[in-house]
Amino acid sequence: MEGFDVFTSDDRKIGHVVAVQDRHLIVEHGMLKKSRHAVPEAFAHTDEAEQTVRLSLSKEIVESSPKLENGSIDTEAVAEHFGLDSARSADKDLSRAGSEPADHELDADQDGTTTGYLSDRVGGG
pTM: 0.65
DSSP character string of 1-24: -TT-EEE-TTS-EEEEEEEEETTE
Share of residues in the chain with pLDDT > 90 (%): 46
Residue pLDDT, tens place only, 84-115: 865 443 444 444 555 444 444 444 455 554 44
Strands 35-40 and 24-29: antiparallel
Residue pLDDT, tens place only, 63-89: 999 999 888 888 889 999 988 865 443
Is 61's pLDDT higher than 80? yes
Is 45's pLDDT higher than 90? yes
Q: What is the dihedral of CA 9, 94, 41, 46, to 10 degrees?
A: -50
Strands 5-7 and 52-55: parallel
CATH topology of domain 1-87: Photosynthetic Reaction Center; Chain H, domain 2 (3.90.50)
What are the residue boundaries of the structural domains of the chain, listed by start? 1-87, 88-125
Half-sphere exposure for 35 (CA within 13 Å, toward CB): 13
Is 55's pLDDT higher than 90? yes
Is 125's pLDDT higher than 60? no
Q: Which residue, among 15, 25, 2, has the nearest Cα to 73 in the 3D structure?
A: 25
What does pLDDT average to over the chain? 77
